[in-house]
Structure 1
Amino acid sequence: MSLPISMPPASAEAMSGWPISVFDPAGPYAGSIATLSWILVAMAVAVLGVVLAALWVALFGPARLKTRLGGTRLIWIAGIAFPAVVLSGLLVYGLSLTRHLSAPVAQDAMRVRITGEMWWWRVAYLDARQQPYMLDANELHIPTGRPVVLELESNDVIHSFWVPRLSGKLDMVPGRRNILPIQADKPGVYAGQCAEYCGGPHALMGFKVVAHAPAAFDRMMAARRAPRQQPSGQGAALFRSAGCAACHRIAGTPANGAAGPDLTYVGSRSSLGAGILPNNRGTLIGWIGDSQSIKPGNRMPPYKMLSAEELQALATYLEAQK
């Protein structure tokens, strides 16, 4: 069963992980939530069946059953005692089933700070001193088989972080840091979505968690932290002169803007615009030239004054950021 969230048409690559499956857990934190959800669905179906049966008796049943159905004893038992016992049992079972969601995670667990923005996600990988050592945006990479602690914050309004196959949802409240553990048991791409209306293009605020086998994850992180030689040429010059560096950061360059997503690894991301477009030459050029026609209301201005050649040069430069 899938969650019907409206997203714009895109290729299979960009939509990897979609549609979001709320009943197909891929880790222990999401597993307990899915189990509880199925139990609640089953109880709802059972209660609906009882209500429909009682309605049939009230409308078409024999007089003897109608009399018993409206009796005081049945009302006390079926209307008060039975719901109290069942709901209390479900409450106790639900709390015991999901208690590990709030249990302390090992101190040496990987920690990532994710900050909700209008309308994208700021990602900061934290070291042992809880300081950011690597920045990214809209995409999180984790190893399989290990719990990962997410520190959730917001820089503007209330957002809600939700990757249904890996954990529950949790609000991101300005001025507050909430903690959410996630874990993926197998490699794959797991889609997420802002689950709290935050204005503007809220429905186009997607997210991706990419889970790697531990060895592959370690190699990827080591490669990202290794010194890189920055490309030069027209694209690099345009990135500075057109004003891109005022809002975006690229590690190892003078570009150190913090208003927009970090672009250090934008060339390796599978999507653009917070999960709504496949990341390729055509979509990258379209996004730079006029992102407002793709995601109306986002905070990146259009660059219609750039020529086709200049857009090609900028796209080439950004594609090299991996």
Structure 2
Amino acid sequence: MSQPTSSSSNLAEALSGWPPPVLDPHGPFSNTVSTLAWVLLALVTVIFVLVCAALWVALYGNDALRAKLGGERVVKWFGLILPAGVLFLLLVGGMLLVRGLTTIQGDELRMRVSGNIYWWRVSYLDAAGKEVLADANELHIPVGRPVVVDMVSEDVIHSFWVPKLGGKMDMIPGRTNRLKLQADKAGTYGGQCAEFCGGAHALMGFVVVAHEPDAWQRWLDGRIERATAAAPLDIDAQRGKQLFNEIGCAACHRVGGTDAQGLSGPDLTFVGARQSLGAGILPNSRATLIGWIGDSQSIKPNNRMPAYRSLKAEELHALASYMEALK
């Protein structure tokens, strides 16, 4: 199966550089947002030029021009009627333009993403809305097919945003909002929480991996098949699994095919296959696994995973070996 290339800077590249992601669409729904952004930019430019012209007249114009600029007619049209008309047109036009971002046709791929402090719970749903696969901090979608994402929050207000693939939508506790995404070509796209949710808000990212349709179906079938099967383990990974249960990791994390069924932390069934760690902020490697397990608080302050500074180096290596085996 072809897999989009992984990079430790996927998220940083996707959310920085030129052109800005919102002006670099890779799907029909992000095209809509980009169009709206260009319209707003054009209007802002026109208004800026008019204000600069009015300022020049006020400072350097002759008495006749100044009198006209300060006249009742100019103030009424340019200070009241024109701004109200522009805002009304923007409101109506913007609503008409983006209405397709939430319109559901019924043939879309269904997913659910739950916002947590500071990570994302990901569920793949069948046509009836039933979960068929659980994951965290990474979404896999097929190229060319619209995806409806049901968005909820399990604590505070978050905001789901993949600038190159779609719009931005708030995740509000007690409410389900929906947003559509679609990728026109395979690749890895960065996403980010766009609503301040606490001290580590800026470190709450994720990635969306777009596969060719056949490759995505093979990926999904393989994940579903392995979701309830215990991963084969070598001696170091077996020791890591033992430690995982002894120090209480299983109380917070779920690992398919094992007794670990915790739900307060990210699902780790496929953590070894993810492109990033810590919700999109670290490359997935042995070194970053060890660093995250040993002291995640120094990497992402105030996240809900305690630091395990008392673990010995060989114990951290064993735990990292176990995490790497979960694919």
State the TM-score, normalized to the length of structure 2: 0.91
For 1:142 and 1:199, how far apart are their aligned partners in 2?
Answer: 29
User: Is residue 2:289 matched to residue 1:284?
Assistant: yes
Shift of 1:131: 1.3
Structure 1 residues 192 and 54, CA, compared in 2 at 3 Å: closer, same or farther? same
The equivalent position to 2:309 in structure 1, one of 295, 300, 304, is 304
In structure 1, the residue matched to 2:67 is 67
SS at match of 1:301: coil
Shift of 1:305: 2.0
Q: Say which is worse superposed, 108-117 or 273-282, in terms of deviation.
A: 108-117
User: Is residue 2:50 matched to residue 1:56?
Assistant: no
Amino acid at match of 1:98: V
In structure 1, the residue matched to 2:9 is 12
Any conservation in 2 of the 1:16–1:189 contact (CA below 8 Å)? no
In structure 2, the residue matched to 1:318 is 323
User: Is residue 2:226 matched to residue 1:230?
Assistant: no
For 2:60 and 2:29, how far apart are their aligned partners in 1?
Answer: 47
Shift of 1:126: 0.9
Any conservation in 2 of the 1:264–1:321 contact (CA below 8 Å)? yes
Any conservation in 1 of the 2:274–2:284 contact (CA below 8 Å)? yes
For 1:23 and 1:111, how far apart are their aligned partners in 2?
Answer: 26
Shift of 1:239: 1.4
Q: Say which is worse superposed, 202-211 or 79-88, in terms of deviation.
A: 79-88
User: Is residue 2:285 matched to residue 1:263?
Assistant: no
SS at match of 1:170: strand
SS at match of 2:304: coil
SS at match of 1:98: helix
SS at match of 1:156: coil
Aligned residues: 312
SS at match of 1:130: coil
Amino acid at match of 1:27: G
Shift of 1:14: 6.0
Any conservation in 1 of the 2:10–2:190 contact (CA below 8 Å)? no
Shift of 1:189: 1.2
In structure 1, the residue matched to 2:3 is none
In structure 2, the residue matched to 1:135 is 134
Q: Say which is worse superposed, 292-301 or 90-99, in terms of deviation.
A: 90-99
For 1:118 and 1:22, how far apart are their aligned partners in 2?
Answer: 25
Shift of 1:39: 0.9
In structure 1, stretches of 5+ residues that fail to align are 1-9
Amino acid at match of 1:35: T
Structure 1 residues 294 and 316, CA, compared in 2 at 3 Å: closer, same or farther? same
In structure 1, the residue matched to 2:94 is 94
For 1:80 and 1:14, how far apart are their aligned partners in 2?
Answer: 44
Shift of 1:68: 1.6
In structure 1, the residue matched to 2:216 is 217
Alpha-carbon RMSD: 1.7
Amino acid at match of 1:84: A
User: Is residue 2:175 matched to residue 1:166?
Assistant: no
In structure 2, stretches of 5+ residues that fail to align are 1-6
For 1:77 and 1:44, how far apart are their aligned partners in 2?
Answer: 18
Q: Say which is worse superposed, 220-229 or 234-243, in terms of deviation.
A: 220-229
User: Is residue 2:123 matched to residue 1:124?
Assistant: yes
User: Is residue 2:256 matched to residue 1:251?
Assistant: yes
In structure 2, the residue matched to 1:185 is 184
Any conservation in 2 of the 1:14–1:271 contact (CA below 8 Å)? no
Higher helix share: 2
In structure 1, the residue matched to 2:84 is 84
1:4-25 superposed Cα distances (whole Å, 9 cap, x missing partner) = xxxxxx9425645232612111
Shift of 1:153: 0.6
For 1:13 and 1:71, how far apart are their aligned partners in 2?
Answer: 56
